[in-house]
Amino acid sequence: MLTEIESDIESLVSPCSSLMTHHSQEIGKTFRELYNVLFVILMDHLPSFRRRLHEPRLGYSYFAGEGEQALANLLKKLHAVLKGPRVLLKRKGRQAKVLNSIRLPSEDLLELQRVAAELRNLVFRERLTGYVPYMLHKFRAVAEWRHSRFGKMGWSEVGAALAANDESLNDLLSTTARLSRL
Amino acid sequence: MQLGSALSDKDTYLGQCVKDHDTYSLRERVWRDENHLEFLAIDDDLETRAYLLAFKTFREEWFSVLREEWCQLTEKAIAWLAAH
């Protein structure tokens, strides 16, 4: 699936880059957001790009497991919405006149914005997950955390509480973060 | 995605850099993450805030200055590296 994802993203980056210059501010902004997040995925998370540049991977992963499936689904949505514009750009070229002739129904634009937002969240979590074990390890040294109901939990249970938006964790995290800096 | 349910290479990369005293790779990685954060996160739920807090906790503990080409480690980080 990885090779498919890489070629999917490579094929989407180029039209998004062209459509960033669309004279409609809203369309331009939407494609800028899409381009930015797709480029980060391509540049940092997918192995081929960094390998071609002889750059180290820096511990970035390519969304294995659930993340990989979520990424594949989002790319599928993008392909569906961008089918028309991509065909047009391929047939007529990328001159400003052609680009600006592209109109997107508001529901398509909304769908693109939703996909961009979901991609951003996916990348955000994929990149920052590596900092969490460090934080929790550090928090275990703080009495407030140790004596709380989370103190004896494994990371997966804390993760589940976070995913369930357990508000009792909210204040505790801030307090512990402050105390751990003292 | 459940935090730390099964720690993989991506979860232990930072720890490995620290353990190896590889501050060059650590700077590269943390700088890239910080640089991309401003346009990545959009939700304001607890999980997102916790991820940001985790990043901030690490970033502040290790780097007093963090730029693309150079960095300055905190006194605490320098002391840790000298002791291990």
In contact, A121 and A71? CB cutoff 8 Å = no
Q: Write down the residue that tokens 């390519």 correspond to.
A: A62
Residues of A in contact with B3 (CB under 8 A): 129, 132-133, 136, 155-156, 158-159, 162
In the numeric block, which tokens belong to residue A135? Answer: 């934080």
Coil vs helix vs strand at B6: coil
- What is the pTM for the complete model shown? 0.86
**Residues whose CB falls within 8 Å of the CB of residue A89, separated by 6 or more in sequence, listed in order:** A15, A18, A98, A99
Interface list for A 41-60 with B (CB within 8 A): 44, 56, 58-60
Q: Where residue A182 falls among pLDDT bands split at 50, 70, 90?
A: low
For the stretch A56-90, pLDDT in tens is 889 888 887 888 899 999 999 999 999 988 888 88
Q: Is B22 on the interface with A (CB under 8 A)?
A: no
Residues in chain B, how many?
A: 84
What are residue B72's DSSP bridge partners?
Answer: B65
Q: Once rounded to an integer, what is the mean pLDDT over residues A107-125?
A: 94
Give the chain B residue whose CA is nearest to the CA of A69. B1
Task: Compute the average pLDDT of residues B23-36.
Answer: 94
- Mutant choice from B25, B28, B34, B51 vs A, greatest count of A C-beta within 10 A: B51
More confident position, A13 or A94? A13
Mean pLDDT of A146-151: 90
Q: Is pLDDT above 80 for A98?
A: yes
| Inter-chain CB proximity B1 and A180 less than 8 Å | no
What tokens does A61 get? 């992963």
What is the rounded average pLDDT for all residues in chain B?
Answer: 86
A27 touches chain B (CB under 8 A): no
Question: Does B57 lie at the interface with A, CB-CB under 8 angstroms?
Answer: yes
Length of chain A: 182
Residue among A60, A125, A165 minimizing CB distance to B1: A125
Higher-confidence residue of A41 and A136: namely A41
Residue B2 confidence class, pLDDT cut points 50, 70, 90: very low
Collapsing DSSP to helix, strand or coil, B84 comes out as coil
pLDDT at A52 over 90: no
